[in-house]
Amino acid sequence: MQFDLVTPEKLLVSDSATYVSIPGSEGSFGVLEMHQPTLSTLNPGKVVVENGDKVKEYFVSFGFADVTGEKVTILTEESVLKAEINVDETTAELAEANARLAQLMKSSAPEADVEVATKKVQVLEAKLNVARA
Amino acid sequence: MPSLKDLRNRIKSVKSTQQITKTMKMVAAAKVRRARMKCEQARPYAEKLNEVLVGLAKNTSNMGGPLLLSGYGHVETVRIVVVSADRGLCGGFNANLAKEVTVKIKELLAQGKKVEIVTVGKKVRDILKADYAELLVDHVEDSTKNVSYELATEIGQKLMAAFEASDCQEVIMYYNKFVNMMVQQPTMQYLAPFKVEDEAENGSIAPSVEYEPEEEAILKVLLPRNVNVQILNAMLESGAAEQAARMTAMDSATTNAGQMISKLSLEYNRTRQAAITTELTEIVAGAEAV
């Protein structure tokens, strides 16, 4: 089946796959050929794409996946190959995001801002988890 | 009659102007290619998102759905987002857009609605400031240089917050669409509430899709995202259109300078010849007199 991984800035991957594992917001699920049409939102996590015995792993941020019998499309705000994650940089970013979140919580900032900061922490944590797993 | 020296100076200055416009044209030509490529790359995401949303919106349209889909029913305040360039020297690029926006503002004000303007890119802001300074509520600095999804998200989130809080009941966006190298089309687009275009009506009926979580929750996540993507798309289109407009403008400026140079050179040569002839006649006359 066809597998597309798309970010707002570009089409990252367009390849064929035999199996795709997707970190859905209601739980991870795997997709084989002829899967029931599904539309699911994503939680930040790891997408595994298998094509025969070739396996590729990607980190994805928030987004959603559109699955039809013969095609899987993942739309996400950010995505990188697992091997290309810069652990040091991400760790630093995470520390920064955490500090910012703590500061916002303390200063009783508007809820929307806190939510944005929380999400950022979530994304970075997931990214690190993917890199280390 | 200008002296020879004056003419020579004029020619020199026009030549250096031509040099500059020629360079600007080449720079714009290179940039337009890059901007268009970015546009193309962003398209799949926007298209897919729209496709999914239209499908979803149809399924939930009877149930009301989230605020971003159903809208407020009555509109008192309209927020207009105007995406333009930070720099001039690109023909009628900014002026045309400002004209369209002004027409819309007048129309809305005549209907007794309130208008708020958010500008992205400072040129249109400068133009609108003359007549509607009190309507400008927000401005995004330095937007054309580093167009990114993060920036679009930032703008989108602010807009959505205002919409959710009912500070405005409708959000529309104006930008220049890149049609081709010669044509930039000022375009209007609804950002909120989300408008389903009915052209997809004849499409196949979606097979029973399983939604996870249920439709409403997905819509709630996707609709704001769609706004961000539309803004990103507008900024990219506008960026490409700006460079194309600049290229055309600079091309005609270069041609004009060329014409002016040949006209001035002609005049210069004529004056020079006239001076030589006069001098000769004087010498001959002087020789005869001796």
pLDDT in tens, B82-123: 998 888 889 889 999 999 999 999 999 999 999 999 999 888
Total residue count of chain B as it appears in this document? 290
Helix (DSSP H) and strand (DSSP E) numbers for chain B: 6, 6
**Residue matched to tokens 């928030």:** A62
CB contact (8 A) between residue A39 and residue B209: yes
* Residues on chain A touching B46 (C-beta within 8 angstroms): 8
Chain B closest-CA separation from residue A10 CA (Å): 4
Spatial distance between the Cα atoms of B251 and B15, rounded to a whole number of angstroms? 14
* Most confident among B16-20, B37-41, B48-52, B223-227 (mean pLDDT): B16-20
Pick among 3.40.50.300, 2.40.50.140, 3.40.50.720, 3.40.1380.10: CATH of B26-199+208-249: 3.40.1380.10
Q: Which residue in the set A39, A73, A112 is minimally distant from B218, CB to CB?
A: A39
Distance CA B155, CA B148 (A): 11
Select from A7, A64, A112 the Cβ nearest to the Cβ of B161: A112
Q: Which of B16-20, B35-39, B217-221 has the lowest mean pLDDT?
A: B217-221
So where are chain B's domains?
4-21+250-289, 26-199+208-249
Quick check: A9 and B221 CB within 8 A?
no
Longest Cα–Cα distance in chain B: 114
Q: Which tokens go with B207? A: 């097979």
Sheet holding B77-83, edge to edge: B136-140, B114-120, B77-83, B170-178, B184-192
The answer to whether residues B211 and A39 touch, using CB atoms and an 8 Å cutoff, is yes
> How many residues are given for chain A?
133
Note the Cα B11 to chain centre separation in Å.
34
B18: closest CA among B264, B183, B241?
A: B264
> What is d(CA B212, CA B168) in angstroms, rounded to the nearest whole number?
31
- For residue B99, what are its two tokens? 């004209």
Could A8 and B211 be called an inter-chain contact, meaning their C-beta atoms sit closer than 8 Å? no
Domain B4-21+250-289: give its CATH superfamily.
ATP synthase, gamma subunit, helix hairpin domain (1.10.287.80)
Strands A63-68 and A45-51: unpaired
Q: Is there a contact between B83 and B122 (Cβ–Cβ < 8 Å)?
A: no
Q: How far apart are the C-alpha atoms of B244 and B218, rounded to whole Å?
A: 38
Q: Which residues contact residue A64 at a Cβ distance below 8 angstroms, ignoring those fewer than 6 apart?
A: A39, A40, A41, A42, A74, A75, A76, B52, B218, B221, B222
Q: Which CATH number is associated with domain A2-82?
A: 2.60.15.10
Minimal CA separation from A63 to chain B, in Å: 8
What are the domain boundaries of chain A? 2-82, 86-132
Q: What's the pLDDT band for B202 if we cut at 50, 70, 90? A: very low
Taking residues B252-273, what's their average pLDDT?
95
> Which ipTM was obtained for this model?
0.82
Strands A2-6, A11-16: pairing is antiparallel
What tens-digit pLDDT sequence spans chain A (133 residues)?
999 999 988 889 999 999 999 999 888 999 999 898 888 999 999 999 999 889 999 999 999 899 988 899 999 988 999 888 888 999 999 999 999 888 888 887 777 778 888 888 989 999 988 888 7
Q: What is the Cβ-side half-sphere exposure of residue B59, based on CA atoms within 13 angstroms?
A: 18
Question: Per-residue pLDDT tens for B174-187?
Answer: 999 998 888 999 99
pLDDT tens, position by position, B47-89: 888 888 887 777 665 555 677 777 777 888 999 999 988 888 8
| Subunit contact A7:B149, Cβ cutoff 8 A | yes
**Rounded to 5°, angle at Cα B124 from B121 and B125:** 80
